[in-house]
Amino acid sequence: MKKTALKTHPTPQDRHPRTSSRRRLRYLWFFPAAAMAAGVLLLSVFLWRTRHFSSDDARRNDMTLLSETNCDGLLLSMFTPDAFDAEAFERYLALSAVRTEHPLENLADMGDYLEHGFSHNPRLSYVYIGLDPYAISNLYGHHASLYIRDYTDQLLTYAQSFRDTRFILLLPGFSLDYLRGLSAREYTEFVTSYRNFVNLCIPYDNIFIYFLGFEEWLIANPGNYDTPVTYTPAALNTMAALTLQNDRYLLTHDNMEERFAQMTELVQAPPTRYPDLSDYSIVFFGDSVIGNYQDALSIPGVVAALSGAHTYNLGLGGGCACGSPDPDTVSALNTIVDAFLAEDETPFEETSTPYAGIRSYRAGHTQHLCFLINYGLNDYFSGKPVSSDDPLDPYTFSGSIRLAVDKLRSAYPDCQILLATPNFTSYYRAGAEIKSDVGGILKDYVDAVLELAEEMDIECMNNYKDFGITAKNHGQYLEDGCHPNSALRYTYGQHIIERIAAMTSAAQ
């Protein structure tokens, strides 16, 4: 049998032997074009990283100000420098400060400011910089060797040359929602950029790096951010104040990994779902625990940011529940309640919280109304009587609260009311001293609130007990032995939301 050869298809080379070489010649243009494109890209990146913003009016004005002003301190920032309160720096440091208006875009821009600042003020005591290592790392494609070189040229050189100048660097802590939206690779790059920067600065004993991005009260509260990566002025200045007051948030080689681990734990935890209280108006009566703080960092602000409730802060620093025989005293509970019911803010200074709270309430409020009453610390400090034979005596602690509740219930029969005891204080032997012949110890005022709540069938928060504050640990919770710190105010706000939601469920 004759064998049949297997048929094979001709290759392109068999059909057209010169096609392969022609094609190679045809695509040779690609390589120089690609090289040229890469060069243009690298040049663009270089220009972006080193452009000087010569057309920026704010930048020119800053440079003129630095040239004409003798100052002790210089304030620069990559994030909203105009939101910083320059006067606060002068209060905390007792030194004059020049705050720039132009937000730094890159390291070369920062170097220009430092060069100009030191050339006209060579004896600067401090330079405060809001610096974003992640944004800088992004500009360099996350190539550490590149941005480390420019950190050295544009920052560390000045720290080395001006050893008597204190360089204070605030690193941003972005919102928890933003961090959770990063991919695993992006989050690793984020942490790495911070870690590399800290390690780079460690050898310099005049560089101090602060970071608050591991604090739940900051990054988990959306009210602290105008955008997921932009702070409100109140949050930004609170962070700045905390860096100037103490070294609690100083980032070092020893605590860096622990702080990053705390942040990562928050990022990886399941999101907390708070009850929707957007149809609630919550009015807060209280002393400085309620009234001394504003925006989302206050207790009413935390409640509003986390639950959507409409909150009205009528707290007033120095206020007592007890009334005063002095007709000019406007800080007593019932004076404020009467003004609220009359929707009249005129008894109060225009800068006060009751003034703003009443005006805001009068402008519009939702249907479901809740009142929170939190007094007792100033009543104790000033030795006010706890009670008397008259249950509605406005000059006693119990009588005043009872009278205020009656007024609020009469005006708003369907309202909810939540009483709160005073919190622990380390003052006066942890509240064990009696401050007058008619007053009691702090625990007497706490017990009075608990008894009033039971008597009038009102929900009550036992802040003295439930926060777990003691004489040994109060520094973890109180700013000054008396007022809740940022973390405790955040916790207090969470408790209020939970309690109001529980009250609503029970009533249905």
Angle at 118 between CA 113 and CA 124, to 5 degrees: 115
Q: How many CB atoms lie within 10 A of CB 365?
A: 15
Domain 50-268 CATH superfamily: SGNH hydrolase (3.40.50.1110)
Question: If we measure between CA atoms, which residue out of 441, 438, 409 comes closest to residue 424?
Answer: 441
What ranges do the domains of the chain cover?
50-268, 280-507
> For residues 174 and 225, what is the distance between their CA atoms, to the nearest angstrom?
9
Give the pLDDT of residue 504.
84
Q: Tell me which H or E stretch contains 97.
A: strand 97-99
Give me the sign of the Cα torsion angle 31, 35, 38, 40: negative
> For residues 375 and 496, what is the distance between their CA atoms, to the nearest angstrom?
15
Question: If we measure between CA atoms, which residue out of 125, 121, 118, 64 comes closest to residue 90?
Answer: 125
Return the DSSP state at 170.
E
Q: Which residues contact 393 (CB under 8 A, 6 or more apart)?
A: 387, 399, 400
Whole-prediction pTM value?
A: 0.87
Give the pLDDT of residue 366.
83
Q: Do domains 50-268 and 280-507 have the same CATH topology?
A: yes
Q: Which residues contact 268 (CB under 8 A, 6 or more apart)?
A: none
Task: Decide: 474 and 463 in contact? Cβ < 8 Å.
Answer: no
Give the pLDDT of residue 2.
40
Q: Which amino acid is at 450?
A: L
CATH 3.40.50.2300 fits 280-507, yes or no: no
Task: Say if strands 207-211 and 459-461 run parallel, antiparallel, or are unpaired.
Answer: unpaired
Question: pLDDT (tens digit, 0 to 9) for every residue of the chain, 508 residues total?
Answer: 443 333 333 443 443 344 444 444 444 454 455 445 444 444 444 444 545 444 588 999 999 999 999 999 999 999 889 899 988 888 888 889 999 999 999 999 999 999 999 999 998 999 999 999 999 999 999 999 999 999 999 999 999 999 999 999 999 999 999 999 999 999 999 999 999 999 999 999 999 999 999 999 999 999 999 999 999 999 999 999 999 988 999 999 999 999 999 999 999 999 999 999 999 999 999 999 999 988 999 999 999 999 999 999 999 999 999 999 898 899 999 999 999 999 999 999 999 999 999 999 999 988 799 999 999 999 999 999 999 999 999 999 999 999 999 999 999 999 999 999 999 999 999 999 999 999 999 999 999 999 999 999 999 999 999 999 999 999 999 999 999 999 999 999 999 999 999 998 877 7
> For residues 493 and 480, what is the distance between their CA atoms, to the nearest angstrom?
20
Task: Decide: 117 and 99 in contact? Cβ < 8 Å.
Answer: no
> For residues 323 and 373, what is the distance between their CA atoms, to the nearest angstrom?
15
Task: Say if strands 230-231 and 225-227 run parallel, antiparallel, or are unpaired.
Answer: antiparallel
Give the pLDDT of residue 246.
85
